[in-house]
Amino acid sequence: MVFVTCKDTVTGRACCVVLCTTEEQNLVKELVGLSTRDRIRAIRGLSMSFKEKKHIRLVLSHYVSLIIKQYNTNNQVLIQWSCFKLFSQSFRRCGYSIKSARQTLKLWQSIMKEIGGRFGTSVLSYFVFLKWLLMFNIFSFLVNFGFITIPLLVYDPSPNIPPNVSFTGLEMLTGAGYFTYTIMYYGGYSNETLVGLVKYDMKLAYFFTIAVYMVLCGIALIFSMASSFKKNYVLADPTSNSAWQLLSSWDFSITNERAVRQRKNNLRVQIQADAANWSLLQEAETLLVPFVVSLMNLVVPLLYSLFNKFEHYSSHRRQIYALVVRNILLKMSILAVLCYYWMNVVAKKFSCWESVVGQALYRLVIVDFLFLMLGSFFGEFLSNVIGTRLIPRLGVPEFDVARNVLELIYAQSLAWIGIYFSPLLPAIQILKLFILFYLKKVSLTQNCQPPRRTARAAQMQTIFIALLFFPFFVGSLSIVAYTAWRLTPSEQCGPFRGLNSTFSVVGVWMDDLHEIPGSQWVIWIYENIIKSEIFYFLMTLIIMAIIYIFWQVTQGRKELIGLLRQQIVNVSVLYMCL
């Protein structure tokens, strides 16, 4: 017996219908599956009394309403679930598309993969470092152009160029002539307070832009060096790296045949690299000075490489160390001599000596680029011709990562020193690095063979950043700081004309703050902290203490990691024995 609650269609009152027999239940189920017209005909054709037919109609209408209600409910849930699933898939697909677009839009992404696949990650590290320096210079250009150059161009868009001076094209090589009177150099910037929507003091803008940029560069280098050191020296385990690469480094999302082939070659070269020994540390009117300097930077390292073939070292690594140290001493000596000449001779000889130094640095950057192109020709193309046609036993040359990286570091040092004397010099450096990437890529693929013995690229990158920081960045920062603190600015040009030193602009600013209410705290900080030798002494002690603490923490972590790895080995051996 089945009780069914329903509603009378005539009176609208609730009623209870009882299906007493199984035959009635089966009949209702059969009628539910019919259309409305067929259902009415079927009920009329039943051999029952009118009361029984009415009973069947009530139960049937209730069943139909329940089915419709359940269908609508299920259908609504299904629609909501379908919409949610469709939205989730669309959102996920959009995320994948954005991620793929980001990978595609990354500068030189496909070229990097090709180089890594053919020549290994040690050679690839040179191009990664070059790209890293390019981004560094783009940031430098944006900072200088945004805070120094654009305000001056808005205030005075036309440069003050004498009528008898015109652009001849030779300025692109010499940096003199027409460029002397433009915003390319220090002398093209005003010492006035630009009045517009707001007052903009060019002296303060020039000083703080250069100062903040150099501080940010130092912080970025320190953090990059610390992060790379932690990842590649503290946490790295050379004994298990090859196994990790072999078992866990395949990218299963790769489906393209060419990408698969490049990935296989890259993985093969990385494993060979880890099995091999680590061999990383493999004047004003004329162009005479930059020519001689660039010639020395080209020829002397080649002579060092030649001498190394006749010297005997206990290991290949020490041989490369000796080569790198010699090249660093050479480049630092050249920069030291040039800076001494600029600071002690040029600064006293010329009326607008900052622009003269800026021109000298511009020429050094340009001529250094020309000699880098010649170095690719003589160092790689001719070596390839000689090794393949004239003296086959020499073979195809390999790409000298250490020498090429030191050339990049030297070029970046010129850009850092020149940031004070030529604020737009990073723009020239950006163009130089961009062209150099493609030049070295073509020379690599056409003239060089994959290295037989390579270094671990990650550790190489750490050493590159360390060399860039010290001694080159520290030396460049010292030159800029010495210029700002000790040398007297030109009387006839530049934003600091009339001051005893560049840093004196801060004292002038403090004098102006005395007239502004509520600025006494800034003056107190300047008088009692910035000008206090005790403050810098305490800061030095604190920094040394922090460095020592972090060094001890690093050593403790290395020992702990070593103990944990040894415990893993012991447990593995015990498990195998059992």
pLDDT tens digits in sequence order for the chain, 578 residues long: 444 444 444 444 444 444 445 666 677 667 666 666 777 777 777 777 777 777 777 777 777 676 666 666 666 666 666 676 666 767 777 766 666 656 555 778 888 888 888 887 778 888 988 998 999 899 999 999 999 999 888 887 777 788 887 888 888 888 888 888 889 999 889 888 887 777 888 999 999 999 999 989 988 888 887 777 666 665 555 444 444 444 444 444 445 565 556 555 655 555 554 444 443 333 344 667 788 888 888 788 777 776 766 677 666 556 666 777 888 888 889 899 999 999 998 988 888 999 999 999 999 999 999 888 887 777 777 777 877 888 777 777 778 787 888 889 999 999 999 999 999 999 999 999 999 999 999 888 888 887 765 555 556 677 778 888 888 899 999 999 999 989 999 988 889 998 999 988 988 888 888 878 877 888 888 888 877 778 888 888 988 888 788 778 877 877 888 888 888 877 777 777 76
Domain residues of the chain, as ranges? 2-103, 121-239+278-493
Is the preceding omega at residue 471 within 30 degrees of 0, hence cis? yes
**For residues 424 and 141, is the Cβ–Cβ distance under 8 A?**
yes
**What residues have CB less than 8 Å from 296, skipping those under 6 apart?**
330, 334
CA 316 to centroid of chain Cα atoms: 32
Whole-angstrom distance, CA of residue 374 vs CA of residue 382: 11
Whole-angstrom distance, CA of residue 318 vs CA of residue 320: 5
| pLDDT score of 275 | 43
| pLDDT score of 7 | 46
Whole-angstrom distance, CA of residue 504 vs CA of residue 508: 6
- For 352, the token pair is 């607008």
| pLDDT score of 357 | 93
* 319 to 275, 322, 334, 380, 408: CA distances (angstroms): 19, 5, 23, 21, 21
Whole-angstrom distance, CA of residue 40 vs CA of residue 322: 104
Residue type, 103: Q
Beta-ladder partners of 193: 201
Residue type, 425: L
Where helices occur in 230-256 by DSSP H, the ranges are 238-248
Whole-angstrom distance, CA of residue 82 vs CA of residue 72: 15
| pLDDT score of 430 | 94
Backbone angles phi, psi at 163, to 5 degrees: -60, -30
C-alpha R_g of the chain = 38
pLDDT per position as a tens digit, 255-304: 556 555 655 565 555 555 444 444 333 334 466 778 888 888 878 877 77
**What residues have CB less than 8 Å from 410, skipping those under 6 apart?**
297, 331, 335, 368, 472
| pLDDT score of 13 | 44
Backbone angles phi, psi at 124, to 5 degrees: -60, -30
Residue type, 551: W
Whole-angstrom distance, CA of residue 2 vs CA of residue 22: 9
Look at residues 246, 254, 297, 265 and name the one whose alpha carbon lies nearest to residue 124.
265
What is the widest separation between alpha-carbon atoms in the chain?
128
- For 166, the token pair is 């015109």
Cα of first residue to Cα of last residue in the chain, in angstroms, is 68
Query: CB-hemisphere CA count at 13 Å for 209?
Result: 25
Whole-angstrom distance, CA of residue 64 vs CA of residue 61: 5
* 298 to 194, 325, 381: CA distances (angstroms): 46, 16, 15
| pLDDT score of 155 | 83
| pLDDT score of 145 | 92
- For 87, the token pair is 């939205």
Backbone angles phi, psi at 15, to 5 degrees: -145, 160
Return the DSSP state at 398. B
pTM of the predicted protein model: 0.71
- How many Cβ atoms from other residues are within 10 Å of residue 150's Cβ? 12
**What residues have CB less than 8 Å from 107, skipping those under 6 apart?**
131, 134
**For residues 533 and 230, is the Cβ–Cβ distance under 8 A?**
no
Report the sign of the C-alpha dihedral through residues 265, 267, 268, 269, in that order: positive
Backbone angles phi, psi at 51, to 5 degrees: -65, -40
Torsion from C-alpha of 104, 107, 111, 116, nearest 10 degrees: -100
**What residues have CB less than 8 Å from 363, skipping those under 6 apart?**
173, 174, 175, 287, 289, 290
Residue type, 514: H
